[in-house]
């Protein structure tokens, strides 16, 4: 399969007057087309930094990042980013929120507007297109945020703990929903999370990072035996516990 | 709306007690208002206080009528209102524009920071005579006075709103490739409309201070002029009346800003 992301010896340092902090140390891995990869690691290990680097908001101190064989030099239309909170703008209606990426990229026209409406229709938000975000439930807001990301038609989705602001029940339901949408739209996705079950149930591969400076500790190819594979059915697979225990041990949490 | 029969007795009692509390509050307010003016009037009539120095509600009313007849009351009130409105609108708009420039250039913001702190601490009214000499004894210098009083605090409060804009919202726009102008237009300005309106609210009061001080210094029109003139010729009725009209005008201005705020927040 085609490689979408290639990380080649990427390092990242943060500078402040107090000194230099190494956040990421010579990290290399590839992400294939259509893969769903999760990245877990101890908190503060530089997971979010990694996504910022891939998205081109930050520049690596050393190394190269290639997206579809092209070096990342800044934000690109190929990449969609989802953050912890939905960050829908309260002063814009849902449809106006959804097309904000098109507006920024100067690609808003009748055709792209129609395709945004189509996405809303497909994922059950069309009737709410003229509502304001505060009139929607947390789950619907998160769905709207995903549609906002999809409207710009990226090949790669970066998910930065997108469910962590939701309560547990909503979180399970929404992660299922979002996973189905991502699979249906045939997108490649990288999920950063600290929830081990979430990582195992959603991914084809889980990358475990060490604490700062982040290096790869281990990589798990997730193979679960279950019918109609979705995040919720995955949790019932016999292998689930095995992966959970090994990743938990790898993370080596001390409180 | 709900039908009244849908409510339980408990709920009806709750609504009743809430309403009677509100009624009691309004009633007490009116009583206090009437009492003050009533006692003032009686005390002056019975010579407990000297109406020549303390004035008296009935004398103030007489002054209102005399000054209304020749239309000069409306002229003075109108002039003060006009100067105040121009002052605080200008103060808010220019202050916001300068805040935008500071947000745009972090270097400039850092450079100007101590100047803003000092200017903010300085009582702007101290500059009154300077303005009078530079600009002259016209309406223009009164508006400049009002502007000066309100602009610095606007710059500081709106700029701090701008720089406290949610970093993640900005990050979100950056992932779409937004430039600085787009970030300003799409998130920094709209998310700070409440901050700008609260600056507007503060500026109503500040701008009035500037206008009245300005009128004390230079003018031949306006409520500030009436107050200073009344004081000089010992017409305390005129002074007291002007102060009360000023209070009413200030309250009306403030209420209209509140109204604008309500309209805008509804839109958001």
pLDDT digits 0-9 by tens, A75-96: 888 888 988 888 999 999 999 9
Q: Does B264 touch chain A (CB under 8 A)?
A: no
Instruction: Read off the pTM.
Output: 0.84
Residues A167-189 have a mean pLDDT of: 87
Q: Are residues A89 and B177, on separate chains, in Cβ contact within 8 Å?
A: no
- Residues with Cβ < 8 Å from B81, sequence gap 6 or more? B249, B253
Q: Are residues B172 and A104, on separate chains, in Cβ contact within 8 Å?
A: no
pLDDT at A254: 66
Q: Does B191 touch chain A (CB under 8 A)?
A: yes
Helices (H), chain A: 47-55, 94-98, 100-105, 110-122, 138-151, 168-184, 196-202, 231-234, 239-251
Rounded Cα distance, A143 and B131, in Å = 58
Rounded Cα distance, B128 and B137, in Å = 11
Mutate to test the interface with A, among B173, B177, B189, B192 (most CBs of A within 10 A): B177
CB A220 within 8 A of CB A248: no
The rounded average pLDDT for each run of 10 residues, N- to C-terminus, in chain B (268 residues) is 69 92 96 95 92 90 92 92 93 95 95 95 91 88 92 94 92 90 94 90 91 89 92 92 94 92 79
pLDDT digits 0-9 by tens, A132-156: 999 998 888 888 998 999 898 888 9
Q: Does B50 touch chain A (CB under 8 A)?
A: no
Q: At residue A21, does pLDDT exceed 50?
A: yes
Closest to A216 in 3D by CA, of A43, A66, A47: A47
pLDDT at B264: 84
pLDDT at A72: 86
Give chain A's domains with CATH numbers: 1-75+156-162+186-255 (3.40.50.300), 79-153 (no CATH)
Question: B14: which 2 tokens?
Answer: 């709750």
| Cβ-nearest to A57 among B171, B187, B191 | B171
CB A41 within 8 A of CB A35: no
């Amino acid at each position: 399969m085609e490689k979408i992301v290639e990380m080649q010896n990427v390092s990242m340092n943060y500078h402040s007057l107090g000194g230099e902090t190494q956040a990421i140390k010579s990290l290399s891995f590839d992400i294939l087309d259509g893969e769903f990869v999760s990245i877990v690691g101890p908190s503060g290990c530089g997971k979010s930094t990694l996504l910022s680097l891939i998205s081109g908001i930050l520049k690596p101190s050393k190394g190269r990042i290639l997206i579809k064989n092209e070096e990342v030099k800044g934000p690109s239309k190929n990449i969609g980013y989802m953050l912890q909170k939905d960050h829908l703008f309260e002063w814009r209606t849902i449809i106006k929120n959804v097309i904000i990426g098109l507006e920024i990229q100067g690609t808003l026209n009748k055709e792209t507007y129609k395709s945004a409406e189509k996405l809303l229709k497909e994922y059950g938000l069309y009737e709410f297109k003229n509502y304001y975000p505060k009139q929607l439930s947390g789950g619907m807001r998160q769905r709207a945020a995903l549609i906002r990301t999809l409207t710009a038609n990226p090949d790669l989705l970066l998910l930065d703990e997108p469910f962590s602001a939701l309560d547990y029940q909503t979180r399970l339901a929404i992660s299922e929903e979002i996973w189905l949408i991502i699979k249906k739209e045939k997108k490649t996705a990288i999920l950063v999370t600290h929830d081990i079950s979430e990582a195992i149930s959603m991914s084809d591969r889980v990358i475990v990072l060490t604490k700062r400076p982040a290096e790869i500790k281990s990589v798990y190819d997730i193979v679960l035996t279950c019918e109609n594979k979705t995040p919720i059915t995955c949790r019932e697979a016999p292998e689930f516990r095995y992966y959970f225990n090994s990743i938990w041990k790898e993370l080596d949490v001390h409180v | 709306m709900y039908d009244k029969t849908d409510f339980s007795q408990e709920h009806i009692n709750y609504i009743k007690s809430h309403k009677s509390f509100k009624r009691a509050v309004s009633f007490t307010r009116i009583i206090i208002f009437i009492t003050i003016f009533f006692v003032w009037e009686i005390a002056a009539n019975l010579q407990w206080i000297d109406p020549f120095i303390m004035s008296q509600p009935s004398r103030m009313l007489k002054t209102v009528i005399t000054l209304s007849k020749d239309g000069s009351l409306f002229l003075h009130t109108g002039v003060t209102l006009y100067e105040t409105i121009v002052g605080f609108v200008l103060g808010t708009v220019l202050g916001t524009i300068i805040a935008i420039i500071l947000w745009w250039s972090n270097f400039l913001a850092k450079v100007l920071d101590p100047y803003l702190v000092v200017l903010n601490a300085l009582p702007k009214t101290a500059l009154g005579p300077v303005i009078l000499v530079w600009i002259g004894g016209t309406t223009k210098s009164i508006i400049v006075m009002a502007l000066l009083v309100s602009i610095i605090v606007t710059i500081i409060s709106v700029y701090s709103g701008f720089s406290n804009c949610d970093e993640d919202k900005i990050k979100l726009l950056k992932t779409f490739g937004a430039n600085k102008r787009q970030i300003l237009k799409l998130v920094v300005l709209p998310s700070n409309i409440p901050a700008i309106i609260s600056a507007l609210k503060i500026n109503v009061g500040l701008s009035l201070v500037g206008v009245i001080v300005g009128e004390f210094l230079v003018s031949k029109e306006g409520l500030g002029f009436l107050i200073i003139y009344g004081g000089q010729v010992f017409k305390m009725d005129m002074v007291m009346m002007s102060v009360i009209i000023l209070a009413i005008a200030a309250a009306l201005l403030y209420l209209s800003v509140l109204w604008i705020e309500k309209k805008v927040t509804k839109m958001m």
